[in-house]
Amino acid sequence: MQVHPQATTIFSSMADLHAACVDLPPPDHAASQAIAAREAILTKPAGSLGRLEELVAWLGAWQGRATPSLERVRIVIFAGNHGVVRQGVSPWPASVTAQMVGNFSADGAAINQLAHIADATLTVIPMADLAPTEDFTLAPAMTIPAFLDAVTAGYAAVDANTDLLCLGEMGIGNTTAAAALAAALFGGTGRDWAGRGAGLDADGVAHKAAIIDIALARHATCCDDPLVAAQTLGGYEMAGIMGAVLAARHRRIPVLLDGFVCSAAAAPLRRLNPMGLTHTSLSHRSAEAAHHALAGFMGLNPLLDLGLRLGEASGAALAVPLLRAALACHTGMASFADAGVSERT
C-alpha cells in the first residue's frame, strides 16, 4: 500500500474547475466498434454474454484500444473527517478514520485483502491531514480554497499509467455528507436520503435526517451550482474523489465507482455535464437505502448487489475480477472459423 502526498494547486478558481468539468474528451468509438466486430465472430450466440460484452467495449472505448488491458489496476481510497459528526450522526467516533488509515497501512482491512485478490495496487490518501471539515449545519463544510485544494489533490493522485481506476473512501460521518449533497443535487429531504450508515438504529437515522434538513435549509440559497453544493455539504475525501474522477476522464482512464458516498462525490460531474460520468461504471449497489435512487439519477446501473455497506472501495475491488473475466472471454475465445463451429443460419 502507498500513502500519496498532497498536491500543489491546479484549479485556482471555481470557474477554472467548472470549465474542466464541462470540457471533456469523448470515448474512442473506433475501438469499441473493433471490439464489437470481434464479439460478432466468437463462438457464442450474439449478445449471450450480456453485460460482459458491454464491459469490454466500455474498457476499450476509454482506454482507446481495440484490445483492452487490465495489467495496471489501481485502487485509491480518500480518507477525511467531518465536523458534522459533532451533531451525533454516527455511532463511531471521528478518531476511527485515522485508526482505519493505520489499519490500511498495516494490511489489516477488508480492502487490503480484496486488492490482493484483484491484483491491484492500493493507495490511501489522508485528506487535509484528517482535519475535519466545518460542521455544515453552522457553516459551509469547506472554504472555496480548501475545496479546490482537495479536488486538486484527487486530480493529482491519478497516475496516467493506469488501465482501470477503482475509487473509494473512509470517513466517519460521510454518509451524512453524501446524503446532504444528494438532496441538494437531486431534490428531496433528509428523510429521503438518510440511511443507517455505519450502524445507526431507527432513532439515529431520524436524527441524521433532521440534521441534514437543517443543513439544507441553512445553505438553500447557495447550492444551485453543483460545485458550490459539493463545497458546502461535502467533505475533503469526497472532493478528492471528484477530482480523481475528473482526472481519469481527462486522461482517458475507465473508473469503477464504489458505493453511496463515492457515487455522491462523483454526482456533481453528472449534473454539470450529462455525459460527465460515461467513463465510469458503478461497481455495486450498496445496502445504504438511498443508493439505488442516487444511481438512477446518475444513470448508473450497478454490476453487483451484495448487500455491502463498508465503503473503502470494497465493491469496486470485487468488480475487478468480473472485468477480468469479461476481458478473458473476449480475448481468449475462438472464432467460429478458427474452431470449426458452424455459425447460425
- What residue segments make up the domains of the chain, in order of their start? 73-322
At residue 59, the pLDDT reads: 98
Q: Which residue has the cell 460515461?
A: 278
Q: Which of 71, 169, 312, 343 is catalytic?
A: 312
**Catalytic residue at 53?**
no
Nearest residue to 120 (alpha-carbon basis) of 82, 70, 160, 178: 70
How are strands ordered across the β-sheet holding 121-126? 2-3, 121-126, 73-79, 164-170, 255-257, 280-282
- As a whole number of angstroms, the distance between CA 267 and CA 180 comes to 12
Q: Is the dihedral of CA 185, 186, 191, 195 positive or negative?
A: negative
Phi, psi of 73 (to 5 degrees): -100, 130
> What pLDDT does residue 8 have?
47
Q: What is the pLDDT of residues 150-205, one digit of tens each?
A: 999 999 999 999 999 999 999 999 999 999 999 999 999 999 999 999 999 999 99
Q: What is the pLDDT of residue 3?
A: 44
Question: What is the amino acid identity at position 193?
Answer: W
CA distances (Å), 162 to each of 6, 247, 248, 252, 344, in order?
Answer: 19, 12, 9, 9, 39
- pLDDT above 70 covers what percent of the chain? 97
For 132, which DSSP code? B
Pick from 74, 259, 112, 84: nearest CA to 180: 84
Going from the C-alpha of 115 to that of each of 1, 177, 242, the distances in angstroms are 10, 26, 21
Which of left, alpha, beta for 270 (phi over 0: left; psi -120 to 50: alpha)? alpha
What's the confidence (pLDDT) of residue 5? 41
What is the pLDDT averaged over residues 318-333? 98
Q: Please give the pLDDT value at position 2.
A: 46
H helix count then E strand count, the chain = 15, 6
Weakest-pLDDT range from 3-12, 55-64, 106-115, 297-306:
3-12
Residue 121's beta-bridge partner residues?
Answer: 74
Q: Which of 123-127, 165-169, 244-248, 337-341 shows the lowest per-residue confidence on average (mean pLDDT)? A: 337-341
CATH class, range 73-322: alpha beta
Stretch 14-20: mean pLDDT: 97
In the predicted model, is pLDDT for residue 316 greater than 50? yes
DSSP symbols for 212-263: HHHHHHHTGGG-SSHHHHHHHH--HHHHHHHHHHHHHHHTT--EEE-SHHHH
207 contacts: CB under 8 Å, gap ≥ 6 = 88, 89
What letters, b where the CB count within 10 A reaches 16 and e where it falls short, cover 297-311? ebebebbbeeebbbb
Kindly state the helix (H) or strand (E) to which residue 144 belongs, with its residue range: helix 144-156
Of 271, 101, 112, 88, the closest CA to residue 197 belongs to 88
- Take residue 334 and report the three cell numbers written for it: 475462438
Give residue-wise pLDDT tens across range 246-268.
999 999 999 999 999 999 999 99
Give tens-digit pLDDT for 96-120. Answer: 999 999 999 999 999 999 999 999 9
Q: Which residue has better confidence, 245 or 339?
A: 245
The CA distances from residue 1 to 75, 111, 170, 240, in Å, are: 10, 11, 15, 18
Element (H, E) at 2: strand 2-3
> pTM to 2 decimals?
0.96
